[in-house]
Amino acid sequence: MPAGIPQARAILFLTSAEKRFVQKQFQNEAIYNDIIGVGIETSDAPPVDSVTVSTKNAPYLIYIGRIDKAKGCDVLFDYFIQYKEKYPSALKLVLVGQAFMTIPDHLDVIQAGFVDETLKISLLKGAKALIIPSLHESLSMVTLESFAYGIPVIANEKCEVLKDHVNHSQGGLLFSDYNSFENAIQQILAQNSHSMAEKGQSYIEQNYTWDKVLARFTKAVDYVVGSV
């Protein structure tokens, strides 16, 4: 066990998955703990100019982050292209972020590149859903931002952090293979996602505002000071 943990009077976690991992590794459930999270703030962003990313007003899914095999982007490209072959339509996949792998030369895969925060938020708010194919996330700020703006999330079920966010919020859908990926997109496109949007926003309001985060932090500090 790391030297500092036995002496700790309190442990604050970012996520439920992190708490489960630490307690399984160190059997330290008796130590005061809480899932503190982080505060998420929204900002106004103008509607995105579709010409900026060549969507031509077509519906699109969005990926935001490092474009890398380590982030599951190879699987994302494979699944999306399979989907488009099966369901020809105007649907696009917009990629926001720096590329560290070859991006398929496909008419419906659009690379926006590294953009400023305002354009990133505008693109996110215009999307049908945010897709996160990563197997490993520690918190996933972009997932929380997507919920905050009322955009459903389609996430990799094999990532515990993402799975928890989606299951706890009911603000999105999970996939574990091509079939579940296809089903998730079909549900997002066929249904009014208003309910998912509301549930995602409620999840943020209940757990990830700075008031909530600071209240949990203050409670932990009061506990530690009171136990000295």
At 52-71, the pLDDT tens digits run 566 668 999 999 999 999 99
11 & 109 share domain: no
Whether 171 is in a domain gets the answer yes
- The token duo for 59 is 């519906």
Nearest to 79 by CA among 54, 100, 109, 101: 109
Look up residue 65 and give its amino acid: G
- Answer whether 62's CB lies under 8 Å from 124's CB: yes
Q: Do 94 and 112 touch, CB atoms closer than 8 A? A: yes
Place of tokens 């296809």: 182
What integer pLDDT is reported at residue 194 of this predicted model? 85
106 and 181 share a domain?
yes
Condensed to tens digits (0 to 9), the pLDDT of residues 34-44 reads 999 999 999 88
Taking only the tens place, the pLDDT of each residue in 98-139 is 999 999 999 999 999 999 999 999 999 999 999 999 999 999
Q: Please indicate, yes or no, whether residues 152 and 174 belong to a single structural domain of this protein.
A: yes
Q: Residue 51 has what pLDDT?
A: 45
Domain of 62?
50-207
Q: Is residue 202 part of a domain?
A: yes
DSSP H stretches of helix in the chain: 4-7, 16-26, 73-86, 117-126, 141-148, 160-169, 178-190, 194-207, 210-227
State percent of the chain over pLDDT 70. 93
Scan for tokens 């708490």, then name that residue: 19
- Taking each helix axis from N to C end, the angle separating 117-126 and 141-148, rounded to the nearest 10 degrees, works out to 60
Burial class (CB in 10 A: 0-12, 13-18, 19+), 105: exposed
Mean pLDDT computed over 11-31? 94
Length of the chain: 228
The average pLDDT across 180-205 equals 93
Instruction: Tell me the torsion sign for CA atoms 37, 38, 41, 46.
Output: negative
Contact criterion met (CB below 8 Å) for 132 and 157: no
Q: What mean pLDDT comes out for the span 174-184?
A: 98
4 or 145, higher pLDDT:
145
* Same domain assignment for residues 149 and 213: no
Whether 88 and 25 map to the same domain: the answer is no
**Are 159 and 214 members of one domain?**
no
pLDDT 10s digits, 133-174: 999 999 999 999 999 999 999 999 999 999 999 999 999 999
Same-domain status, 117 and 91: yes
3-state SS of 114-178 is CCCHHHHHHHHHHCCEEEECCCCCCCCHHHHHHHHCCCCEEEECCCHHHHHHHHHHCCEEEECCH
pTM, 2 dp = 0.91
What is the pLDDT of the chain when averaged over all its residues? 93
Separation of CA 167 from chain center = 12
